[in-house]
């Protein structure tokens, strides 16, 4: 029996009966595919005894139903392969001897081929399924039945596509049905003895690819041998060799994608999940009373070494000798005299090893002038730097913000070519890393080098990793930053990468709810909340002024209130109403007067807050608008909501108020 069960209850006759059934089914399927009916012709009926006798003789001679102890799929398959070759050979001799040359070659050899394919499937099922074999791999190899059928679909589809391109239809003639069988079996046998439909797991890309290219070339060679040996030169060379050549190209692409997808992703980028909303926490401020603000003077490291040598001269004459603007920037924001040369380190490298070898908690000053865009695991690198610094110590670095990339393309190329190259660069380095499947391919190819970072993401990662920005400045298309170690790194494992996020807000009765919104900011922007407020303050509408964290498309979404659409989910869940009070955080709620806080608890938050209706977007305006709404709703519940809804829709339609 092809399944090769090792149970003593399964006798030779049961094996023979099942194999006979497969042989019969294979014949009927091929015959129906050829004739479109199952009424067997007289000449075929005379041929059937030859068909079954040759199978029985080959089965008995090869003893393929014996139980084998080999733990390799090909060894298990070998007697079945010998049996099918012996059957084909003996059938060919008998048909030639009885002069049955008018029989359909497709029916004769197609039925035998399909029978062997069905045997392979049964053996593969018994060999690979854990229920039967109870093992995962043998002799260090991994096999994939799925991979075999995927390749079979690929070679069949390409053959039919080229046939359609050449002939204009998909109705295969007998000659092309036969040649397809030659191509299929040539590919199958050679693949079994080259790559064995093995799932490529090697880390070396060329080692993964080599057996597949070798298999395709050998298949082309074997088909060429058949063509020229049997003088079947009337076949279209495009259909014959074009399909095999195109199959090799697509096979290489498929294996490459598989290799890149399964290769370990050497980056700390979270895999975005487009089907779930990330919980966006609001980090607590890390600013302390002891922090020296930039406008109050130069920043001094907390622990000055007495009698030490200042790093100022070394920075000016050695490290930053060719970057005078960078030295001037550092000298303006940091008291370099307070930094001891013996507790400072300056490097120009992207490999984390250059930081990992340094002792922990020893440095007052660390500078790396290699752009962080080339670092594979940016967060891991920042965290390593954080470990090496003492509390309040300084870290200096740089990165290329994405806004400068287009300028670089336009500077190095013509305007038209520069814009074209920038579009491809945008798709490759900004779209691919943000999509779940394409992200692995991107990092597999680029290895994380040349990453695209916005200013918000670059600075946000620093805050995420426990730093606080003292100052940053754009110099020669780079953003140079000076930060201090302020705390330990965050333990948030998936910061702000989903297109939809949810935020914890105070609901009816003070019960917390999670409000959904479309993301309009760059990744890691939530960690810059206090920094943006410190340098820019609030705008007239009560939101951070000149907020560089908002993306270009995010500004459009906010302008037309599109970022609020996911709140409809909260509306359907019954957590929010259409119009009413604004969903706010507990921290913001604590700034409301106590009497208003108590009144707010009686109502659910709304998708359209009262300040939109009354055109009051300042911080005090929020409180004033909600107070007026609550007092009016206490007297006229239904008409108040209609009034505020109409006013809100009118203000939005006439652009009297915007989301941001």
Size (the chain), residues: 660
- Residue 472, Cβ density class (10 Å: 0-12 exposed, 13-18 middle, ≥19 buried): buried
506/484 Cα distance (integer angstroms):
34
List Cβ neighbours of 24 (8 Å cut-off, separation of 6 or more). none
Rounded to 5 degrees, what angle do the CA atoms 565, 566, 569 make? Answer: 120
Contact 558, 520 (CB under 8 A): yes
Q: What is the CA radius of gyration of the chain?
A: 36
What pLDDT, on a 0 to 100 scale, did the predictor assign at position 323? 93
Per-residue pLDDT at 286? 45
Rounded CA-CA distance 31/39 in Å is 9
**Minimal CA–CA distance to 224: which of 183, 173, 171, 261?**
183
Strand partners, 310: 340
Query: Which DSSP state fits 342?
Result: G
3-state secondary structure 632-654: HHHHCHHHHHHHHHHHHHHHHHC
Residue 475: which H helix or E strand, with range? strand 467-475
- In terms of C-beta density within 10 A (0-12 exposed, 13-18 middle, 19 or more buried), how is residue 30 classed? buried
pLDDT at 134: 45
Give CA–CA dist 475/473, Å, rounded: 6
Task: Please tell me the pTM assigned to this model.
Answer: 0.64
Q: Decide: 450 and 426 in contact? Cβ < 8 Å.
A: no
384 with 467: CB under 8 angstroms? no
Q: Is 546 left (phi over 0), alpha (psi -120 to 50) or beta?
A: left
Q: Helices marked H in 136-194 — which ranges?
A: 145-167, 174-194
Burial class (CB in 10 A: 0-12, 13-18, 19+), 319: buried
Q: Which domains does the chain have, with CATH numbers?
A: 1-134 (no CATH), 142-263 (no CATH), 303-401+453-489 (3.40.50.150), 411-452 (no CATH), 500-536+544-653 (no CATH)
Other CB atoms within a 10 A radius of the CB of residue 443 amount to 22
- Burial class of 82 by CB neighbour count within 10 A (0 to 12, 13 to 18, 19+): middle
* Cα–Cα distance list, 443 to 258, 261, 323, 446, 502 (Å): 13, 9, 32, 5, 28
CA angle 196, 199, 203 (to 5 degrees): 120
Q: Is residue 641 a contact partner of residue 578, using CB atoms and an 8 Å limit?
A: yes
Is residue 259 within 8 A of residue 207, CB to CB? The reply is: no
Using 50 as the pLDDT threshold, list the residues of the chain that sit under it: 1-9, 130-142, 286-295
Q: What is the pLDDT of residues 40-98, one digit of tens each?
A: 888 888 888 888 898 888 888 888 877 555 556 667 777 888 888 888 878 877 877 77
Beta strands in 304-380 (DSSP E): 344-347, 363-368
Q: Identify the pLDDT of residue 132.
A: 40
| CA proximity to 354, closest of 370, 336, 340, 343 | 370
């Amino acid at each position: 029996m092809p399944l090769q069960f090792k149970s003593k209850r399964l006798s030779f006759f049961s094996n023979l009966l099942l194999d006979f059934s497969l042989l019969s089914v294979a014949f009927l399927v091929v015959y129906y595919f050829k004739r479109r009916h199952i009424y067997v012709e007289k000449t075929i009926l005379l041929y059937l005894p030859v068909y079954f006798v040759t199978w029985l003789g080959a089965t008995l001679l090869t003893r393929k139903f014996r139980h084998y102890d080999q733990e390799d799929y090909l060894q298990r398959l070998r007697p079945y392969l010998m049996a099918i070759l012996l059957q084909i050979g003996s059938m060919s001799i008998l048909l030639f001897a009885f002069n049955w040359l008018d029989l359909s070659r497709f029916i004769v050899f197609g039925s035998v081929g399909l029978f062997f394919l069905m045997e392979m499937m049964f053996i593969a099922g018994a060999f690979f399924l854990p229920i039967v074999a109870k093992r995962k791999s043998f002799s260090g190899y991994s096999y994939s039945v799925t991979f075999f059928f995927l390749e079979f679909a690929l070679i069949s589809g390409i053959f039919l596509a080229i046939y359609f391109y050449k002939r204009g239809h998909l109705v295969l003639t007998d000659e092309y049905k036969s040649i397809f069988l030659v191509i299929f079996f040539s590919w199958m046998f050679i693949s079994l003895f080259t790559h064995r439909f093995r799932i490529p797991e090697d880390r070396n890309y060329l080692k993964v690819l080599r057996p597949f290219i070798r298999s395709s070339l050998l298949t082309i060679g074997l088909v060429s041998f058949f063509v020229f040996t049997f003088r079947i030169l009337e076949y279209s060379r495009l259909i014959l060799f074009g399909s095999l050549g195109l199959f090799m190209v697509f096979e290489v692409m498929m294996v490459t994608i598989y290799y890149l997808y399964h290769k370990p992703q050497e980056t700390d980028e979270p895999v975005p999940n487009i089907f779930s909303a990330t919980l966006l926490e609001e980090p607590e401020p890390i600013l302390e009373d002891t922090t020296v603000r930039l406008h109050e003077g130069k920043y001094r490291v907390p622990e000055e070494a007495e009698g030490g040598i200042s790093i100022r001269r070394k920075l000016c004459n050695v490290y930053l000798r060719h970057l005078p603007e960078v030295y001037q920037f550092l000298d303006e924001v940091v008291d370099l005299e307070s930094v001891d040369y013996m507790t400072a380190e300056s490097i120009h490298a992207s490999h984390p090893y250059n930081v990992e070898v340094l002792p922990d908690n020893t440095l007052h000053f660390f500078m790396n002038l290699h752009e962080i865009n080339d670092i594979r695991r940016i967060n891991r690198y920042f965290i390593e730097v954080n470990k090496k610094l003492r509390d309040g110590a300084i870290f200096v670095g740089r990165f290329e913000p994405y806004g400068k990339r287009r300028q670089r393309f336009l500077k190095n190329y013509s305007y038209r070519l520069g814009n074209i190259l920038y579009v491809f660069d945008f798709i490759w380095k900004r779209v691919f890393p943000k999509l779940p499947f394409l992200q692995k391919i991107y990092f597999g190819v680029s290895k994380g080098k040349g990453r695209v970072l916005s200013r918000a993401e670059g600075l946000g990662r620093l805050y995420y990793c426990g730093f606080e920005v003292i100052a940053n400045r754009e110099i020669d298309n780079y953003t140079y930053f000076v930060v201090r170690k302020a705390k330990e790194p965050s333990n948030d494992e998936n910061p702000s990468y989903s297109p939809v996020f949810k935020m914890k807000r105070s609901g009816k009765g003070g019960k917390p709810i999670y409000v959904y919104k479309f993301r309009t900011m760059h990744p890691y922007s939530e960690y810059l909340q206090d920094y943006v407020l410190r340098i820019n303050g609030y705008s007239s509408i009560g939101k951070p002024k000149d907020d560089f964290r908002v993306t270009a498309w995010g500004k459009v979404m906010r302008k037309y209130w599109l970022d609020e659409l996911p709140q409809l989910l909260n509306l359907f869940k019954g957590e929010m109403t259409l119009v009413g009070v604004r969903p706010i955080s507990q921290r913001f709620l604590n700034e409301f007067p106590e009497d208003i806080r108590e009144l707010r608890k009686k109502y659910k938050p709304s998708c359209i807050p009262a300040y939109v209706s009354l055109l009051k977007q300042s911080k005090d305006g929020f409180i004033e608008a909600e107070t007026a709404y609550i007092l009016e709703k206490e007297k006229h519940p239904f008409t108040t909501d209609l009034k505020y809804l109409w006013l809100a829709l009118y203000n939005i339609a006439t652009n009297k108020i915007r989301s941001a």
